[in-house]
Structure 1
Amino acid sequence: MEFDRLSHILWHGVTRQEVWSLLNTSQQGLSGEEALKRQDLFGPNELPKAQRKSVLTVYFHQFISPLIYLLCAAALVSILIGEVTDALFIFAVLQINAIIGTIQEWKAQKSAESLNAMVKNRVVVLRDGKRIEIDSAQLVPGDYAFLESGALIPADIRLIQSLEARADESLLTGESVTVNKGALEAIGEESAIGDRHNMLHAGTTLSQGRCEGIVTQIGLHTELGRIAQALQTTENAAPPLVQRLDKFTRSIGFLVVLAVVILGATMVWQGVSVKEVFFLAVALSVSAIPEGLPVAITVALSISSFHMSKRNVIVRALPAVEGLGACTVIASDKTGTLTVNELTVRRLWLAEGPELEVSGEGYSPKGEVDFKAARLAVAASLCNEATFRLEKEGYHHFGDAVDVAFLVMAAKAGLDRESLLERHPEHGFLPFESERKFSASINHFDDEALVSLKGAAEVIAPLCSNIKSEDILKRAEEMASQGYRVLALAQGSWSEDHELDALSGRKDLTFLGLAGLIDPLRPEAFDAIKKCACAGVGVRMVTGDHPATALALAKELGIAHEKSDVVTGAELKDLQDDPINLAETIHSARVFARVEPVQKLNIVQSLQENNHFVAVTGDGVNDAPALRSANIGVAMGKEGTDVARGAADLIITDDNFASIVNGVEEGRIAYANVRKVIYLLVSTGASEIVLFFLCLISGMPLPLFAVQLLWLNLVTNGVQHVGLSLEKGEGDELHDPPRNPKMPIFNRRMIEEVVISGLFIGIVAYLFFQYALANGFDEASARSSLLLLMVLFENTHVFNCRSERKSLFKMPLLRNPILVMMVILTQAIHIGAAYVPGLNTTLNIQPVSLDQWLTLLPLALGLIVVMEIYKWLRR
């Protein structure tokens, strides 16, 4: 078996029997041994990935900046006029900056790849006659695969069985309308992709129904693989935050260059040589303009996304890192997010009247079921799509949690679905869809066929004739008010004249009973809800459950308190023609029960129109519109469909609401760290401009040479901002209300901080330079001491930047040891440079005595005093 031979076969044009034969497989699937052989032969089921930038590409990317071009021009001019030492230093600065930037960007790139690798596409296949779940990369031609609505199709698959299947093939055909899919025999070989109704193609989505089929092609040999090169995205758009900062950098750059031009013209008029003015202007521009700000912010967000992954939150879109911290409302699913998603059938109410208790908990068949419930257990097992079986390592299950719960209940009664299907072969099946609210199975019983239904009580009750619908609904309401998730079961005769789609019109079914399932709340959900309340984040429960069940659980969690807090999907539908009342109802509601998928989208949009920044959770294919529309879409990693994950900004790997709250906290930390980095870079650049203008106005000599400014920019901010972006948070991130997402980074507080710190550093540095010259220092010694003072200022200022509100004395140093190490490193590098032959003469710096260092340190520490007073007054 070879790819070349398989790739020439038009799989839609051959019969199903020929497919089995050509792929040398059977309805028992491949053996594990054969699957491994084929994996070795065909390789992984993967498309070519966007090529990772090489280290050299990343390195050369560091030089793409107009300001870097200025420095390169300055270096070339230096060589032409004989100032080779200055040119070498400029080239050295460029190299060091490029190396630091390369390391940061390379690490961020690798971090993003490792996070993407955590999101796996899983698929159920038959191996050795048993259903198992594997990574889609392990698929091979000949595998027998099972797919359900919401699945991303992992390979080209020839259908063998299908139920109400429709696929979204817009990725391949451009046609937005979903296409019917069926297990048809051979169709015309010349059929276009959109007309191949017996095939599913890799990269498309099963938007409805259930399918079974044989994998025919994988990887590059799929229809998608043939156009994979056109589909690859090699360059991602920069996050909006980075784009805004890049725009800011350009704006402030224009102003700084304008200021430098004025400064330079004035210096020339004062008699300073054009060469000296040129070098100074270039260096001051580069030093004052935070051209590295977008890269620094991207690195900060990448670090935060890595921290989020450690707390079970995978970031698919970088803006969501800081965006989640701004959310004002989380619209959360109940099942599996607020609950543990291990449903257990605990109570049965039979049509004959008795109420029965079912013992045992979780997915263990230990427990007892009264024999009176045997018929209900049989119906629940047949109308079922899950698997529950005993294997060597214990009981294994997969499938919908409700279906698994019913199979566990049946196992307690001594029933096994596979054995039941042998005695009662299946003739048809109607899968559960959220719009229909029930599923149905047709099975052969002796000389007749029966249809078994399982679904919402309000849908099943009107179809039954052996008991009053009102009595069923009343009992369902009572059970739901006690916190049970309630489902109804029924059976009826079946003939070939009946149509599965017409089930909802029947009135002659036999009601079997109600099943009350309990899904315990996650213990950590209680604390997570409290944290949300403390953080000013509202929580809305959105569920398809009965309103009484939803209210009982919402009360326990503290989300809702009374019946008026609950709104049903039917009530929302009644208000469609009254938009004002509808908006008010959605705004005041805390629980949305029995909602339809499209209503979830309406809820999100209504909350957004009410000025909320909305994070919404989802796991199904029908949740995708709401996930895309929300400010932050959060998909479930364990139980979520591929479509939901693809539409989301974040993926929660443990499907736990508490992880979303952790993400909110990390998002706030990320945004705060972004502000800290901006504060550091902009304020220190501003101080250098202040220093030069004061010297210019007072007619003093140049305070620092061009190479000294470049050195200052290199050894301080070029290193320290990395340590600042590693801040772990101040500990009270969830004690403040959400920030307004429209609030600019340069708000009043940021402007005040930059102005105060920039003016203080610039004025004190100017006064020191003036004092040094007036007290016998020659210009070289004065500049050397001034440069040391500026390094000390920036060393101390980075600790001010650790918090915009808290005193730095309340920020333990050991919470960020890397920052402390980087500050010590910058001091050591600067002091050590004075003892390196060649470097000391290039920089025009002199060895630093302890007395000198101890004299300058108090001046630098004065900045801490000033900013502490500012914080105190602000508080």
Structure 2
Amino acid sequence: MTQATHPAAVSEDPVADPHARPAEEVLANLSSSPQGLTGDEAAQRLARFGTNALPEGRRRHPVMRFLSQFNNALIYFMLAGALAAGVLGHAVDAGVILAVVLVNAIVGFLQEGKAEDALAAIRNMIAPKASVLRDGERISVPMADLVPGDVVLIEAGDRVPADLRLIHARSLLIDEAILTGESVASSKMTAPVAADAALGDRKPMAFSGTLVAAGQGAGVVVATGLHTQIGQISRMLGEVEELTTPLLRQVNSFGKRFTQVAFVGAAVLFVFAVTLRGFAWDDALTAVVALAVGLVPEGLPAVITITLAIGVQRMAARNAVIRHLPAVETLGATSVICSDKTGTLTRNEMTVRRVMTSGGLLTVEGAGYDPGPHRVAADGPAGTLIRAALLCNDARLRPDGGHWLVEGDPMEGALVTLAMKAGLVPEAERAAWPRLDQIPFDATWRYMATLHRLPSGEAVVLLKGAPERLLEMCDRQEGLAGAEPLDPAYWEAQIADAAAEGERVLGYAMRRMPGDATSVDFPDVAGGLIFLGLTGFIDPPRSEAIRAIAECHSAGIGVRMITGDHAATAAAIARQLGLAKDPHVLTGQDLDALAPEAFRAAVRETQVFARTSPEHKLRIVQALQADGLIVAMTGDGVNDAPSLKQADVGIAMGIKGTEAAKEAAQMVLMDDNFASIVAAVQEGRTVYDNIRKVVSWTLPTNGGEALTVILAILVGFSMPMTPVQILWINLILAATLGLVLAFEPTEPGVMRRPPRHPDAGLLSRFLVWRIFFVSVLFMALSLGLFFWALGQGRDLDTARTMVVNLIVVLEIFYLFNVRYLHMSSFTLTGVKGTGPVLGAVGIVVVAQIAFTYLPVMNGLFGSRPLTLLDGVVIVAIGLVSLVVLEVEKHFLRDRFD
């Protein structure tokens, strides 16, 4: 996103020193109110003030990006060779060398532009949203659409979307380290401070880009885009990410070493040809330059980067957005996936299945958030519980095209649905029982409390939270005849029964307050509460997650479920998912009791971790990595950031994930679906396979061409190809067959192979053998045809034309062999080829027909027309080479790899 170009987008901030003014005055100056702006007014202000975004980092001008493609030693060598050929009068050689250089430059130019565009698209795909009040309703809008005067709601884990003047703050702590350098979160309040207060002392302000560490708040937007505090400092949030990955660095290093060896060998060959074989020095130089151009894989890094970029796009199409390119490589080696349960392995469409009170069990029909025709009796204790569940609740339900959508927490949304099934009208109940104050939910105290004014004028505190925690705070329970002594054993049995069915359980409690009470704090709910009962929620497993876990098992990938749920609930869901028939479950308390060595051993054998904290997640990841495993880890909360960073591939949830989690992760799931993780692993394996295919095609084909000519120089017979013909082969193949393997689809059985070792080199023993074997095979077949043609009385130019065509045919057939590294190419899909493969082959065939039969090409390259029988012989030799390579692959692949 970029800053809007509307002239008003660079106007002065609407309010000066908002931290020094009362919230009411700031709202009045912005013509806003605690209920926010109207939709029409927000649209007008967006046109006036521009989008709430910082400019992107400046991208290189296309001309400079194109010129940079020539900035490496190999290109300098090739340009020097072209200059030498031109000076010596070899205009055709010089022209072809320049054409090779230009083709490689164009490929690199297009690739870099495509990569930059892909990264920009990724930034837009994971553009965060903010919760705002528009027309008095809470909605989610893109952060870029925020305008001065908007009222924004923030809570723990959110990244503040703009500079806000707080109008409400409840236990609000904000980490402002990116602005102030302070490592301790700043406690926020709404009272104004001095106008000259330092940035870190502006307590009623929440600044754009900072992280909400705890609590809840609401604030009015006073500055957006470049006018925010972060917009006024030099740090830019939209800088272009570094594209180089460990794999590319390995390839570049290999290319440099290979180039150095080739140059030394070329120099030795030049001296040998001139001094011992009597070559004219200019002819020898031209031949050596042509060999260097043909042998060195100068386009390999560009093709590999294209392969990675294609993998990123394929993953994005499957709802997995890669934020850092190294994750593409790492995904292919993933050996264990640690996944959250709710919304990732399950549907995150919570439904209240049962209501448990002291009077008995009430079963609820229906699924999802649609209240439908289902009705629930809401008499006695059940009615009190359902009303409390609706009021101690921040969620809203709204219909949308035949579906009901939740604004807020899914479980709270399910409670609103329950209330509607009981005949309650949420808006009417909330108006009749207005909320006066609240204690927002936090993992530290594990409950939420709200203070309400009853229609009778009395006040009551309603609580919702972890049943175990609420039971500790209660000494009575709601009965049919009113409050009665608490029966902990009864409730513990109810909790166990619900958990055994895979249900998540919430408890509810209440306490009457003095009639003049207007606030609630922790001492008010520390004890003496009345326990109302329990609700059991079911969140059914995703059917696609069940299939994905089975696929992981066949791929040798372990799956660990890490959840905050009750152990029995987690075990029940694990069985439904097929994680294990009898899953081994450990709770956070169990983990805390283990010594370090025992902890590592327990993690190795455990499939389900329940009642865990973010600290447990971090330790689990570290223990798995200590066993040499490559770990992918999911997370959505601000406290998950350490484990996401620690994991080899951190995976943030795109829907329910906080901005802190997304920024710490290497990958973002746009649908929060476990199946998308497995799909990304599959694409990661495909990317790595395609890179190996590119390498295994490029190096042997280059080697076969070079060995053919080198042997001719060393032995002293006529060269089977002229320098300009070598350059022709390199030119047409680098721009066609050299690229199509990047587009190869997933090879069958890719998810039935065990994960590759993370330290495995790009060149396996089989590929090293294959480079040698194919190079020698191509040389033998080329020289065999060359001497056969001469023996048949063909002139030298015709024999050379046959060799050039044979090498091109051999490389085409070898391409079909390389398309499948792990299976035979003699299949229908293997023979048929993909669209890119057939298109590239078609271009090469047309080019070779022109090379062989067009008079102008005959004049430029010294080629001669061939007979139909010559063509049949050449194609037959190519087919024989494919058979030989398929046999070799069948017998040696498994032994080497």
TM over 0.5: yes
Residue among 527, 544, 551 paired with 1:507: 527
Aligned match of 1:460: 470
CA RMSD of aligned residues (A): 2.3
- 2:612 alignment counterpart: 595
Partner of 2:726: 709
Specify the alignment match of 1:747 in structure 2.
764
Deviation of the 1:11 alpha carbon: 2.0
Q: CA 1:544–1:772 in structure 2 vs 1: closer, same or farther (change >3 Å)?
A: same
The Cα of 1:838 is off from its aligned counterpart by 4.9
Q: Which amino acid aligns with 2:587?
A: T
> Would you say 1:35 and 2:35 are equivalent positions?
no
Q: Does 1:179 align with 2:186?
A: yes
1:854 aligns with 2:872: yes
Instruction: Find the counterpart in structure 2 of residue 673 from structure 1.
Output: 690
Contact 1:349–1:355 at 8 Å: present in 2 too? yes
Query: Does residue 820 of structure 2 align to residue 803 of structure 1?
Result: yes
Shift in alpha-carbon separation, 1:310–1:794, aligned structure 2, 3 A: same
Letter in 2 for 1:203: G
CA distance in 2, matches of 1:260, 1:79: 20
Amino acid at match of 2:684: G
Matches for 1:788-827 after TM superposition, within 5 Å: 788-810=805-827, 811-814=829-832, 816-827=834-845
For 1:126, the aligned partner's letter is L
Q: Which amino acid aligns with 1:142?
A: G
Q: 1:762 to 1:353 in 2, by over 3 A?
A: same
Q: 1:473-488 residue pairs with structure 2 within 5 A?
A: 473-488=492-507
Aligned partner of residue 164 in structure 2, secondary structure = strand
Q: Which secondary structure state, in structure 1, belongs to the residue aligned with residue 152 of structure 2?
A: strand
CA contact under 8 A between 2:161 and 2:208: conserved in structure 1?
A: yes
The 1:86/1:753 distance shift into structure 2, 3 A limit, reads closer
Matched position secondary structure for 1:808: coil
Partner of 2:214: 208
The aligned counterpart of 1:634 is 651
Aligned residues: percent identity? 36
SS of the residue corresponding to residue 559 of structure 1 reads coil
Bigger Cα displacement from structure 2, 520-529 vs 414-423? 414-423
Kept in 2: contact 1:112–1:302 (CA 8 A): no
State the partner residue of 1:557: 577
1:434 partner amino acid: A
Native 8 Å contact 1:551 1:560 kept in 2: no
Q: Which amino acid aligns with 1:23?
A: L
* 1:410 lines up with 2:431 in the alignment: no
- Using the TM superposition, give the Cα deviation of residue 736 of structure 1 relative to its aligned residue in structure 2, in angstroms: 1.2
2:80 is matched with which residue? Answer: 73
Instruction: Report which stretch shifted further, 787-796 or 99-108.
Output: 99-108
Decide which of 311, 322, 343 is 1:304's aligned counterpart: 311
What amino acid is aligned across from residue 338 of structure 1 in structure 2?
L
Give deviations 1:180-200, integer Å, cap 9, x for gaps: 222x22212222322222212
| TM-aligned CA distance change 1:859 to 1:392, over 3 Å | closer
Matched residue, 2:251? 245
The CA distance in 2 between the partners of 1:803 and 1:431, in whole Å, is: 57
Q: Is the 8 A contact 2:51 2:145 kept in 1?
A: yes
Q: Tell me what 2:96 maps to.
A: 89
**Superposition deviation, residue 394 in structure 1:** 6.7
Preserved CA contact (<8 Å) 2:310 2:743: yes
Taking the aligned partners of 1:636 and 1:588, their CA distance within structure 2 comes to 27
Once the two structures are superposed, residues 459-511 of structure 1 have per-residue CA deviations (whole angstroms, 9 ceiling, x without a partner) of 2211111214343223211210111111111112447799734578x331111
Alpha-carbon displacement from aligned partner over 1:275-333 (angstroms, at most 9, x marks no partner): 22222222222221212111111101111111122222212122222321211111111
Distance 2:771 2:17 in 1: 68
Q: Residue 290 of structure 2 contacts residue 724 of structure 2 at CA under 8 Å; is this kept in 1?
A: yes
Aligned counterpart, 2:53: 46
TM-score by length of 1: 0.95
Q: Is the 8 A contact 2:556 2:755 kept in 1?
A: yes
**1:616 Cα deviation after fit:** 1.2
Give SS of 2:565's match: coil
Hey, what's the Cα distance between the residues in 2 that align with 1:328 and 1:606?
Answer: 14
Q: Is the 8 A contact 1:716 1:795 kept in 2?
A: no
- 8 Å CA contact 2:294–2:706 kept in 1: the answer is no
1:603 is displaced (CA, Å) by 0.9
User: Is 1:612 paired with 2:625?
Assistant: no
Q: Quickly say closer, same or farther: Cα 1:619–1:773, change in 2 above 3 A.
A: same
The one-letter code matched in structure 1 to 2:436 is H
Cα deviations across residues 88-110 of structure 1 (Å, max 9, x unaligned)?
33223322332343334433433
Tell me, yes or no, if structure 1 residue 322 matches structure 2 residue 329. yes
Tell me the CA shift for residue 819 of structure 1: 0.5
Aligned to 2:479: none
Contact 2:347 2:540 in 1 (8 A): yes
The Cα offsets for residues 581-612 of structure 1, whole Å up to 9 and x where unpaired, read as 11111111110011011111111111111111
Structure 1, unaligned stretches of length 5 or more?
Answer: none
Structure 1 residue 542, shift from structure 2 partner? 0.8
Q: Shift of residue 640 of structure 1? A: 1.6
SS in 2 for 1:286: helix
- Deviations 1:539-570 (CA, angstroms, capped at 9, x unpaired): 1111111110111111122213336x000011
Cα-to-partner distance string for 1:325-368 (whole Å, 9 max, x where unaligned): 21111111111111111111111111x33111123321022322
Change (3 A) 1:2 1:719: closer
2:585 pairs with 1:566: yes
Question: For the residues of structure 1 that align with 2:833 and 2:441, how far apart are their CA atoms?
Answer: 51
Deviation at 1:433?
Answer: 2.5
Contact 2:712-2:720 at 8 Å conserved across structures: yes
The residue number in structure 2 matching 1:871 is: 889
SS in 2 for 1:202: coil
The letter of the residue matching 1:818 is P
**What SS does structure 1 have at the residue aligned with 2:153?**
strand
Is residue 2:127 matched to residue 1:120? yes
Distance 1:846 1:153 in 2: 72
1:760 deviates by 0.6
CA distance, structure 1, for counterparts of residue 108 and residue 12 of structure 2: 48
Q: Which amino acid aligns with 1:487?
A: L
Quick check: 1:220–1:228 contact (8 Å CA) kept in 2?
no
User: Corresponding residue for 1:521?
Assistant: 541
CA contact (8 A) 2:438 2:520 kept: no
Contact 1:387 1:404 in 2 (8 A): yes
Which residue of structure 2 aligns with residue 583 of structure 1? 600
Residue 147 of structure 1 aligns with an amino acid whose one-letter code is: I
CA contact (8 A) 1:47 1:228 kept: no
Matches within 5 A, 1:190-589: 190-227=196-233, 230-234=236-240, 236-270=242-276, 271-350=278-357, 352-366=358-372, 367-370=374-377, 371-372=379-380, 373-389=382-398, 395-445=404-454, 446=456, 448-466=458-476, 467-494=486-513, 500-502=521-523, 506-562=526-582, 565-575=584-594, 578-589=595-606
Residues 639-678 of structure 1: pairs in structure 2 closer than 5 A: 639-678=656-695
Contact kept, 8 Å, 1:690 with 1:763, in 2: the verdict is: no
Q: Distance in 2 between matches of 1:471 and 1:281?
A: 90
Deviates more, 1:99-108 or 1:801-810: 99-108
Aligned to 2:4: none
Return the alpha-carbon distance in structure 1 between the equivalents of residues 403 and 720 of structure 2.
77
Q: Is residue 17 from structure 1 mapped to residue 37 from structure 2 by the alignment?
A: no
The SS at the match of 1:741 is coil
Q: How has the CA–CA distance of structure 1 residues 497 and 444 changed in structure 2, closer, same or farther, with 3 Å as cutoff?
A: closer
| Pairs aligned (count) | 869
What is the DSSP-based 3-state SS (H/G/I as helix, E as strand, rest coil) of the residue aligned with 1:407?
A: helix
Q: Give the deviation of 1:451 after TM superposition.
A: 2.3
Q: Deviations over 1:208-266 (max 9, x none)?
A: 22221111111111112223565552451401111111111112222222222221221
In structure 2, relative to structure 1, the CA distance for the partners of 1:698 and 1:774 (3 Å cut) is: farther
Secondary structure at the counterpart of residue 79 of structure 1:
helix
Partner of 1:622: 639
